[in-house]
Amino acid sequence: MNHLKLRLGRRAPKTAIILGSSLGPVAAAVGDPLIIPYTDLPDFPVPRVSGHAGRIVVGRLGGAEVAVLQGRAHPYESGNAAVMRPAIEMLKGAGIETLILTNAAGSLKPAIRAGSLMLITDHINYSGMNPLIGQHGDENFVSLTDAYDPALRKRFIAAARAEDIALEQGVYVWFSGPSFETPAEIRMFQMIGAAAVGMSTVPETIIARRLGLKVAGLSVITNLAAGIEGANPSHEETKSEGAKAVGHMKRLLARYFAGT
């Protein structure tokens, strides 16, 4: 039984958005909202980190019906890389075809400052974990070429241009957390071609691609990573700087769903 599908009733969103740290207020842009707490959905992972409200807001955004998830459970909370699998499977079973993942991330490039939005073009899994470990069947050998759908990326670029929003592009590296990276690790990530680093998104992308969903990813840059210009990241900085980007994220998503 798909409990989310039952709660949706006649609503039929095809796209779901997972909001990262401090981006929960983006859901305020959703019209005619139906609100479903994660705790109302059996087996749905409930976040335990501040800045993640733990509810689904279903309604209209930019003319399209969407399901907006206010927060995620992170692998570092449990040691389980597949912690979001029940949520993504439930979304798939409820008719979701596209998953838009957002996160708060540290910049590896001094030119990409706090407050910037970055479109994820690819990722590097530095965590040592994979959410498909322990699963059986040939279907788990998932190709991650174009994991972040090129057509969706083009739509976001067009939407940003239409809204006159600067949209960076780059590779996101997944670091397991919850401790922040060392300056030495940041220097290594710079050497291997990453533009931003964070503690989420990659396992969700892998799970979503395993289930046949299209994926797009957006990072809100909340800080320069450790050691860059003397940066010393904190979770408070992540939350405060992420909140400042809510307006741009609302506009970008609304324009994207309006078809630019």
Does 51 score more than 90 pLDDT? no
**Strand-strand pairing, 98-107 and 214-224:** parallel
Q: Return d(Cα 195, Cα 224) in angstroms, integer.
A: 11
**Per-residue pLDDT tens digits for 141-173:** 999 999 999 999 999 999 999 999 999 999 999
Instruction: Look up 200 and say whether it is catalytic.
Output: yes
The catalytic position among 73, 104, 231, 254 is 104
| The pLDDT of residue 95 | 97
Domains in the chain, start-ordered, CATH in brackets?
3-257 (3.40.50.1580)
For residue 92, the one-letter residue type is: K
Instruction: Look up 126 and say whether it is catalytic.
Output: no
Average pLDDT of the residues of the chain = 93
Q: Return d(Cα 92, Cα 69) in angstroms, integer.
A: 14
| The pLDDT of residue 248 | 94
Residue 247: phi and psi, rounded to 5, are -60, -45
Instruction: Look up 104 and say whether it is catalytic.
Output: yes
> How large is the angle between the packed helices 150-163 and 246-257, nearest 10 degrees?
110
pTM of the shown model: 0.95
Q: Return d(Cα 37, Cα 44) in angstroms, integer.
A: 10
Instruction: Look up 223 and say whether it is catalytic.
Output: yes
DSSP state of 53: -
What confidence tier does 209 reach under pLDDT thresholds 50, 70, 90? Answer: very high
Instruction: Look up 188 and say whether it is catalytic.
Output: no
The catalytic position among 82, 87, 199, 226 is 199
> Hey, which bits of the chain come out as E strands?
15-19, 31-37, 55-61, 64-70, 98-107, 117-125, 167-174, 196-198, 214-224
Instruction: Look up 123 and say whether it is catalytic.
Output: no
| The pLDDT of residue 231 | 72
| The pLDDT of residue 223 | 92
| The pLDDT of residue 229 | 87
**Per-residue pLDDT tens digits for 81-132:** 999 999 999 999 999 999 999 999 999 999 999 999 999 999 999 999 999 9
Average the pLDDT over 177-202 and give the result: 97
For residue 68, which of 220, 231, 254 has the smallest C-alpha distance? Answer: 254
Q: Return d(Cα 103, Cα 21) in angstroms, integer.
A: 6
| The pLDDT of residue 240 | 77
| The pLDDT of residue 48 | 82
